[in-house]
Structure formats: C-alpha cells, structure tokens
C-alpha cells in the first residue's frame, strides 16, 4: 500500500514482529557503521556551561545527562539518564529560555556530551509559544524533544518508528523527574503544529519534533513565529532516508489526540533518594527468578495510574504477567483482576522473542491502547515506562523495557483486541 494511504493503525500493523518475520530477517548490523550519537553545532556558536550549583542549570542538566561511561574494546559507550532502545539515543533536546536571570532569552540546543547549552537562536518578540501554545507567553522553559531517526533506523529499520516515540516518552519522563526534584511543575504537549516547527528549525527530513514540555509562568500574550529559520546541523555523521518513517511521522502529527483536564500528579518521594535513583537508573540485563513483595508491586501499579500532566492524552491499559510476587497467585492480571492463573514464565519469554528477562522477572508488564493518535499513545507508553523504572528502582527493584515482542501472539495471550505498545520487566 502507498505510504500516503496508510492510516494510524497501519503503521503499527506494518511494524509487527512475528516468529516468522524475526527468523526471515534477524537484522544483523555492522557495529562499525553506527552513526554518531551526539549532535553538535559549530564551535563558534555561543555556549553556556551548565553549573550544577545553579538550580535552573541543574534542572536542565538532569533532564538529559550522561550518568555512566562503559569502556569496551571498540570504544566508550556513554549511558544517559533516559533509557533508549539499543542504547542508540535518537532523541535530542532543545530548550527555549525566557525571563531567567543570567541567561540570554533564546533557543538552545542541549549539548549532552559537553554538558552545555548552545545558543542557536536569540529571541526578540518571537519564540516557540505560537507553535505549541498560541496566545501565551512562557516565562521559564519550553523543552522540545526531537528524534534524529536514523540513529535508530540504522539498526531497527521501520520498527524504529515505534522506538523513536518510546524513547521520546522516556525523555519526557526524565524531564518530569528533574522537574519534581527541582520543585517545578511541567505540562506535556503533544498536539501542536510540529510540521511548521520542523520547517522553522530547519530540520529538513533528518530530524523531527515529537513532543514539548513547558515549565514556568504562563501569561496571556501573543508571541509571533520565529522571524528567521534556524540554521540546520545534521545530528549524525551520515544519513539514509526512510520513507516509511517520514510518512508515519507526518501522518500521525496531523491527527489530534484525545483530550482531558490538566491534572498534575502528586508524589511523595524523599528527594535526595529520588535524585540518586534518577542518577543510578539502569536497564537490568538479567533477573534471577526471585520474588518481590506484594506491597512494592502495588506501589508500582499505583504510580502508573497517577495523572499524566497533559491535556493531550491516550489511555494506556496495563496487563501484568505475575511470575513471583509474594502472596499473589501466578497468572495474567488486568489491574487487580486475575484473568487466568498459571505459570506463564516460558510463554512470556517466548512472546518477548525469547528474551530471558521477560521469563526470569518477577512480573512482566504489557501496555496496550485503543488510541486515536498513535504517536501520542506510544510517547505516553514511554513516559509511563520511565515512571516504572524510577518507582521500581526507588524501592530496590530492577527494571528493563522491552520493545520487541510477537505482536499478534501477545495480543492473543492477553485476550485483548487493543494494540500492544510496550512491555516492561521488573524483578531482582
């Protein structure tokens, strides 16, 4: 079917895994050809080194920082505060700063590797507001998450459309966690004129804006569109276009999401411990078939159901395959309701393409949705995934996201006709 004829659900359908598809296309890649994972503007651009003793600098830094470096034979891998499928990190962060003492009003690129802000556009009477929240002026911060999709499609091909959005949602979750630690509120915005903003930022077809988060004082004031186009810099050292991904992004950027009343979640974590949790968060690569307490399991589920701070919304339902939770019957659950009892370790491992983490975990979670806007639904799934990581780790439980599973067989096992968007394994 031509890309122009595909509907929202068709993009999910077209990227499904099956036992046969995985066998026919095991998708081996040459690691030496991996595109660059960091974006840099030319050296003559003005930069602001982030001072972690400055609360505003620290807020920005913790939203997207390197937290661990691993040394391998072929080089150093720099792991970040937000998880990413295959540790490929296709997301970039841009921040508009207005009315913050000591910082020039402008749009900045967050240069993660060097821990600094690069000024790419100085504001006068213009800004990002008219693209994302027309008729308003934000004194504070407007974060834009973008996807340099080739970093992911280099390995995952068409299915990277899913991973870019899940990673974008995780990155929004990292911003939300930093906001909580720094006593700031944020609002997520998914429905805005992304295509016009891409053009204004000069992204061509090599990068696309996926979501926005605002934090600050909102005033009634008209801010005009950017008076000039921002100079373009490619986020990879080389690039190969993917028509399917570009078409999927454009199609799903035009559809409005479901709407809800804006409600901010209320958390009650010890902030020093939560900061350490954010900093130390890792994806577990192995579980040991050990049990977790029912109390901690319910805590995790409860935090999944807390409000998403956005007026744009797609409902995510959570199914749990309980393998080993003390005091609970093993089986498939929806919320607290037991759908079917049984030891489903082997089945769950098989469904997640024979990944041991899905079989050996205490619980494997599946996120499903009957969405209107596929792009928003996938990003919210990623946002909730970041919550699961942090809440689990806060209570001493390990976690790992799972983006690869046999879609139709998983749907059949869960006894749902809704699309399966994401899976997560928790345990010790």
* Per-residue pLDDT in tens (0 to 9) along the chain, 428 residues: 455 567 788 999 999 999 999 888 877 889 889 999 999 999 999 999 999 999 999 999 999 999 999 888 777 889 999 999 999 999 999 999 999 999 999 999 999 999 999 999 999 999 999 999 999 999 999 999 999 999 999 999 999 999 999 999 999 999 999 999 999 999 999 999 999 999 999 999 999 999 999 999 999 999 999 999 999 999 999 999 999 999 999 999 999 999 999 999 999 999 999 999 999 999 999 999 999 999 999 999 999 999 999 999 999 999 999 999 999 999 999 999 999 999 999 999 999 999 999 999 999 999 999 999 999 999 999 999 999 999 999 999 999 999 999 999 999 999 999 999 999 999 99
* φ and ψ of 264, to 5 deg: -95, 135
Give the model's pLDDT for residue 4: 56
Whether 284-427 and 3-254 are alike in CATH topology: the answer is: yes
Please state which CATH number belongs to domain 3-254.
3.40.109.10
Burial string for 316-354 (b: 16+ CB within 10 Å, else e) reads: bebbbbbbbbeebebbbbbeeeeeeeeebbebbbbbbee
113 DSSP β-pair partners: none
Q: At 129, which helix (H) or strand (E)?
A: helix 129-132
Q: Do residues 388 and 250 make contact, with C-beta atoms less than 8 angstroms apart?
A: no
Predicted confidence at residue 3, as pLDDT, reads 58
CA distance linking residue 191 with residue 312, whole number of Å: 7
Q: Could you identify the residue written with the tokens 């099956």?
A: 18
Nearest to 313 by CA among 150, 166, 139, 188: 188
Give the residue extent of every domain in the chain. Answer: 3-254, 284-427
Go through 138-168 and write b for each residue having 16 or more CB atoms within 10 A of its CB, e for each that does not. Answer: bebbbbbbbbbbbbbbbbbbebbbbbbbbbb
Radius of gyration, alpha carbons of the chain? 21
pLDDT score, position 74: 74
Q: In this predicted structure, what is the pLDDT of residue 5?
A: 62
First to last CA, the chain: 45
DSSP at 126: B
Strand arrangement, sheet containing 47-49: 47-49, 116-122, 106-111, 91-98, 136-147, 208-220, 187-189
Class of the CATH-defined domain 284-427: alpha beta
Q: Distance (Å, rounded) from C-alpha 4 to C-alpha 10? A: 11
- Candidates 329, 369, 330, 334; CA nearest to 346 is 330
Other C-beta atoms lying within 10 Å of the C-beta of residue 286: 11
Please give the model's pTM, rounded to 2 decimal places. 0.97
């Amino acid at each position: 079917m031509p890309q122009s004829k595909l509907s929202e659900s068709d993009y999910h359908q077209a990227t499904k895994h099956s036992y046969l598809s995985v066998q026919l296309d095991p998708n081996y890649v040459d690691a030496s050809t991996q595109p660059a994972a960091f974006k840099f503007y030319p050296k003559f651009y003005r930069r602001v080194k982030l001072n972690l003793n400055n609360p505003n600098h620290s807020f920005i830094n913790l939203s997207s920082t390197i937290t661990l470096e691993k040394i391998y034979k072929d080089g150093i891998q720099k792991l970040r505060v937000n998880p990413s499928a295959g540790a490929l990190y296709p997301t970039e962060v841009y921040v508009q700063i207005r009315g913050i003492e000591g910082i020039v009003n402008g749009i900045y690129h967050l240069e993660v590797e060097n821990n600094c802000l690069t000024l790419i556009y100085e504001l006068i009477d213009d800004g990002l507001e008219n693209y994302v929240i027309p008729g308003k002026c934000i004194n504070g911060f407007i974060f834009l998450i973008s996807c340099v999709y080739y970093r992911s499609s280099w390995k995952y091909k068409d299915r990277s459309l899913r991973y870019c959005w899940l990673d974008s949602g995780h990155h929004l979750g990292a911003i939300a966690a930093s906001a909580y630690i720094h006593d700031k509120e944020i609002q997520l915005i998914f429905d805005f004129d992304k295509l016009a903003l891409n053009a204004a930022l000069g992204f061509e077809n090599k990068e696309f804006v996926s979501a926005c988060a605002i934090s600050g004082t909102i005033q009634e004031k008209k801010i005009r569109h950017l008076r000039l186009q921002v100079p373009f810099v490619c986020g990879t050292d080389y690039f190969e276009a993917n028509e399917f991904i570009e078409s999927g992004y454009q199609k799903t950027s035009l559809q409005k999401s479901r709407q809800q009343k804006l409600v901010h979640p209320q958390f009650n974590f010890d902030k020093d411990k939560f900061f350490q949790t954010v900093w130390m968060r890792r994806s577990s690569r192995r579980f040991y078939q050990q049990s977790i307490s029912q109390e901690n399991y319910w805590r995790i589920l409860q935090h999944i159901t807390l409000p998403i701070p956005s007026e744009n919304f797609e409902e995510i339902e959570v199914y749990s395959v309980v393998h080993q939770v003390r005091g609970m019957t093993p089986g498939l659950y929806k919320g607290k309701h037991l759908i079917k009892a049984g030891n489903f370790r082997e089945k769950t491992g098989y469904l997640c393409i024979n990944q041991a983490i899905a079989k050996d975990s205490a619980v494997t979670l599946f996120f499903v949705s009957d969405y209107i806007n596929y792009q928003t639904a996938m990003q919210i799934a990623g946002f909730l995934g970041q919550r699961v990581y942090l809440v689990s780790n806060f209570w001493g439980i390990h976690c790992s996201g799972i983006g690869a599973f046999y879609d139709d067989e998983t749907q059949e096992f869960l006894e749902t006709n809704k699309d399966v968007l994401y899976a997560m394994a928790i345990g010790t």
